[in-house]
């Protein structure tokens, strides 16, 4: 019997492997087709290093006529380019009030990236040493530094904007890709020597690297340069402004601007009044429309940071203008967890890694699935802003982090908004990775009538940070805060208390791995009376097996009488067949609650079992990732979206091993071939469970391992009842007959019982 099952499993696996190999041979993947005239491909690390560092001088300062689509009058396009500049707000230093470092670029007056400060939030994938985001640009003699953020190792080492880095350690750095390669082999805590040139004088500085901070907002880089105005290899930046309509001229395509009125890809001028607390950019469009964007760091209202203020200012000169503008939200939120965690939607739909989130006053938050945005399958491509229910916030929601625009609620600076549009930006990923689509929201204003020389200012708050309920509760309109973005699903009533208990235990012992073990002890201790009753019921079931076998043989041709006799036997000995399932039913919500806790609570993200210095089990909310086997096994198994994933995980294997041990110890012996076959099926089902468990968080596996060990110890170490005691009725009566099958308390006794029953059946046949 076992041999047939093993042969079936091996043949099925071989057929699956063969079909995948045949598909790869017959239908090979075609390489991506580059647009005509596109520049040659560069490695991903070079593209990342070069992002945003294209030459800043474009155009010759002339003015040429262009005609808008639809036969509008020619407009003058000012091609005088402002210089590319970058500025930063905030700091990465521990205890910085803003809790983040914001890098701004004059290209579209946009936010290039937002990095979180402190020791709690780091990049989950990149464990190399971090010097700082320097916006490097290749130049004569090395790479010119474009910006140096406060609190970075580069700032601590004395590197300044405008310096030319010629060498990092022993590696020359003629281009940004060389700098990236030199840092890729370093580790946090390592001290490196950076040789640079400042004002023509060479010098060397030493920098102590740190672990790379998490970037909540960042450019979504591509693996090859694609055609766009600068040839930059990334999706659109965050919080870009564009003209929706101006004096009757309308935008024709969602991701395209009105010709001649482009704002997102031009370099705005840096206002000379900008300082360390505020950065202001301005630009002027043909026809006299002047646009300004000003960013300011804020720590109110919570004092916990993670907030910005953005003022959008529009003014016209010479004549009255009627304008509608569009302000885009954040892009490039983290994609961590996309291959092992499934996010929970409030409806029956499926969510992507990043989804558009919005909330109106008086309503719950709404998540617009990135999958539906990518497939253009939205029932409502735009949501109107109603007068009675103003917009509280709109942005992008990810697994552990969120970023959003928060319109001012009152006063003359409160924006008058018309609608909110979910958008997919950049290229749509292929089907297997469609959930990685990059999305954003677009806030479209109502028509604004601008009088000459009378500016209109609209104010927005910007949140970018972790999804901590107490922090989110400080952002958004009154009565419609952002805290309901933390959603645990149907089992939230279990997940919230478990999260509270885990946090309380962690506050005392300082390790979430130990906190999960103690939580297991608390849960199993509270369920001890139930589990003890289940153990006695299992013993009683084992003792009743021969009697039930006799009833089956006696009434094998009369199912009704067989059922009546079996139920009478159960009533006689006060046995409830559903009693053994009670513990399972109770543990289902606990299992789901803990799973949702580990997959949703940002406090458990990157919580290590042992130490953050050890890569294995460094994140209890993710698989333990013991060994990267992606170069050994077939890609359809080890790809992130494959069955197993790119890592060998030990905890799921240990969990299934304990399940099999429990099954062997506690399952009653098979009295006939049908029961034996059922037990074999259950045994092999465990291997399918291993596939299902292979990507679950190692913190959840830790709970199951501790719970299984508790159950095994409870059965093996606690006193067991004798057969007659197991059959005792509720009123104290005893069994009326002595069974031939001995009482079963361990694996050897079960084997002896099965052998005796088999010999008895053979003797009866003879």
Q: Name the strand (E) or helix (H) holding 531.
A: helix 528-554
What CATH topology corresponds to 44-217?
A: Pdz3 Domain (2.30.42)
Among 134-138, 525-529, 659-663, 693-697, the range with the most confident prediction by mean pLDDT is 134-138
Strands, E assignment, 361-486: 366-368, 383-384, 391-397, 401-407, 417-425, 438-445, 448-450, 456-466, 476-477, 480-481
| pLDDT tens readout for residues 185-194 | 999 999 999 9
In whole angstroms, what is the distance from residue 212 CA to residue 659 CA? 39
Mean pLDDT of 665-690: 70
- Classify 36 as helix, strand or coil: coil
Among 59-73, 373-387, 396-410, 672-686, the range with the most confident prediction by mean pLDDT is 396-410
Return the pLDDT at 543.
77
Q: What is the mean pLDDT of the chain?
A: 80
| pLDDT tens readout for residues 116-151 | 998 788 998 888 999 999 999 999 999 999 999 999
Return the pLDDT at 387.
79
More confident site: 270 or 317: 270
Closest CA to 99 of 113, 122, 123, 115: 115
Return the pLDDT at 304.
63
> How far from chain centre, in Å, is Cα 428?
18
**Predicted confidence band of residue 583 (pLDDT cuts 50, 70, 90):** low
Contacts of 602 (CB under 8 A, 6+ apart): 400, 401, 466, 467, 468
In whole angstroms, what is the distance from residue 86 CA to residue 279 CA? 10
Q: Does the structure show a pLDDT above 70 at 747?
A: no
Return the pLDDT at 579.
61
More confident site: 222 or 619: 619
Residue spans of the domains in the chain: they are 44-217, 495-765
**Residues of the chain with pLDDT > 90: what percent?**
42
More confident site: 683 or 315: 315
**Residue keyed to tokens 């465990």:** 686
Q: Does the structure show a pLDDT above 90 at 223?
A: no
| pLDDT tens readout for residues 440-454 | 999 999 999 999 989
More confident site: 606 or 61: 606
Contacts made by residues 625-633, CB under 8 angstroms, sequence distance 24+: 625/649, 626/650
Q: Does the structure show a pLDDT above 50 at 79?
A: no
Q: Does the structure show a pLDDT above 90 at 203?
A: yes
Return the pLDDT at 30.
41
- Classify 141 as helix, strand or coil: coil
Among 258-267, 301-310, 481-490, 592-601, which stretch is predicted with the lowest mean pLDDT?
301-310
Q: Does the structure show a pLDDT above 70 at 607?
A: yes
CA dist list (Å): 425 to 220, 237, 263, 331, 715:
10, 10, 17, 8, 57
Q: Does the structure show a pLDDT above 50 at 567?
A: yes
Return the pLDDT at 367.
92
Q: Does the structure show a pLDDT above 80 at 225?
A: no
**Residues of the chain with pLDDT > 70: what percent?**
78
Return the pLDDT at 505.
94
Return the pLDDT at 738.
35
More confident site: 667 or 258: 258
Q: What angle do CA 140, 142, 144 make, to 5 degrees?
A: 90
Q: Does the structure show a pLDDT above 60 at 724?
A: no
Return the pLDDT at 541.
75
| pLDDT tens readout for residues 630-659 | 888 888 888 888 888 899 999 999 988 888
| pLDDT tens readout for residues 86-123 | 999 999 998 888 889 999 999 999 999 999 998 788 99
């Amino acid at each position: 019997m076992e041999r047939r099952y093993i042969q079936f499993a091996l043949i099925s696996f071989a057929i699956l492997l063969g079909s995948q190999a045949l598909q790869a041979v017959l239908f090979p993947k075609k390489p991506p087709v580059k647009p005509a005239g596109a520049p040659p491909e560069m490695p991903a690390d070079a593209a990342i290093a070069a992002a945003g560092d294209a030459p800043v001088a474009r155009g010759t300062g002339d003015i040429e006529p262009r005609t808008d689509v639809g036969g509008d009058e020619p407009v003058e396009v000012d091609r005088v380019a402002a210089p590319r500049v970058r500025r930063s707000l905030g700091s990465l230093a521990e205890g910085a009030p803003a809790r983040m470092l914001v890098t701004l670029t004059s290209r579209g007056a946009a936010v290039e990236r937002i990095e979180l400060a402190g020791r709690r939030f780091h990049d989950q994938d990149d464990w190399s040493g971090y010097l700082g985001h320097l916006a490097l640009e290749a130049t004569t003699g090395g790479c010119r530094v474009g910006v140096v953020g406060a609190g970075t190792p580069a700032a601590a080492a004395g590197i300044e904007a405008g310096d030319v880095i010629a060498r990092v350690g022993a590696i020359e750095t003629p281009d940004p890709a060389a700098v990236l390669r030199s840092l890729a082999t370093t580790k946090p805590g390592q001290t490196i020597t950076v040789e640079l040139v400042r004002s023509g004088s060479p010098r060397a500085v030493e920098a102590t690297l740190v672990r790379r901070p998490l970037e909540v907002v960042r450019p979504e880089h591509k693996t090859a340069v694609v055609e766009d105005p600068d040839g930059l290899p990334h999706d659109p930046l965050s919080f870009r402004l564009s003209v929706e309509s101006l004096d009757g001229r309308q935008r024709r395509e969602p991701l395209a601007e009105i010709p001649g009125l482009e704002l997102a890809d031009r370099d705005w001028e840096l206002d000379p009044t900008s300082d360390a607390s505020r950065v202001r950019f301005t630009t002027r469009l043909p026809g006299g429309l002047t646009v300004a964007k000003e960013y300011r760091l804020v720590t109110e209202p919570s004092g916990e940071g993670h907030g910005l203020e953005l003022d959008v200012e529009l003014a016209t000169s010479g004549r009255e203008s009627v304008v509608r503008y569009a302000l885009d939200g954040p892009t490039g939120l983290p994609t961590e967890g996309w291959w092992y965690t499934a996010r929970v939607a409030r409806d029956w739909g499926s969510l992507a890694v990043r989804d558009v989130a919005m909330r109106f006053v008086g309503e719950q938050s709404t998540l617009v699935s990135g999958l539906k945005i990518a497939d253009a399958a939205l029932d409502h491509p735009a949501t109107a802003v109603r007068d009675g229910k103003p917009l509280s916030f709109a942005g992008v929601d990810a697994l552990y982090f969120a970023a959003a625009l928060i319109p001012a609620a009152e006063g003359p600076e409160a924006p008058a908004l018309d609608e909110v549009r979910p958008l997919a930006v950049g290229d749509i990923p292929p089907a297997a990775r469609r959930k990685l689509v990059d999305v954003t929201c677009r806030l479209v204003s109502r028509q604004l009538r601008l009088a000459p020389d009378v500016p209109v200012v609209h104010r927005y708050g910007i949140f970018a940070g972790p999804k901590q309920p107490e922090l989110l509760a400080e952002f958004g309109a009154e009565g419609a805060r952002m805290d309901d973005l933390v959603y645990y699903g149907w089992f939230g009533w279990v997940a919230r208390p478990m999260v509270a208990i885990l946090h309380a235990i962690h506050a005392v012992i300082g390790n979430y791995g130990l906190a999960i073990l103690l939580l297991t002890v608390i849960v199993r201790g509270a369920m001890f009376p139930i589990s003890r009753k289940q153990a006695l019921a299992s013993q009683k079931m084992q003792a009743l097996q021969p009697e039930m076998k006799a009833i089956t043989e006696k009434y094998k041709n009369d199912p009704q009488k067989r059922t009546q006799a079996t139920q009478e036997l159960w009533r006689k000995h006060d046995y409830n067949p559903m009693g053994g399932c009670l513990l399972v039913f109770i543990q289902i919500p606990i299992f789901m609650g803990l799973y949702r806790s580990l997959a949703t609570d940002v406090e458990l993200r990157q919580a290590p079992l042992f130490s953050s210095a050890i890569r294995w089990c460094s994140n209890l909310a993710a698989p333990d990732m013991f060994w990267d086997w992606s170069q050994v096994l077939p890609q359809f198994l080890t790809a992130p979206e494959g069955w197993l994933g790119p890592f060998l995980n030990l905890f799921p294997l240990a969990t299934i091993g304990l399940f099999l041990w429990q099954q062997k110890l506690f399952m009653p012996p098979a009295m006939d071939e049908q029961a034996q076959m059922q037990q074999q099926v259950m045994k092999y089902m465990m291997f399918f469970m291993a596939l299902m468990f292979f990507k679950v968080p190692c913190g959840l596996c830790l709970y199951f391992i501790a719970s299984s060990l508790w159950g095994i110890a409870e059965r093996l170490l606690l006193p067991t009842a004798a057969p007659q005691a197991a059959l005792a009725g509720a009123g104290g009566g005893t069994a009326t007959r002595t069974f031939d099958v001995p009482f079963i308390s361990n694996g050897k006794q079960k084997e002896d019982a099965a052998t005796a029953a088999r010999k008895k059946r053979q003797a009866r046949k003879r």
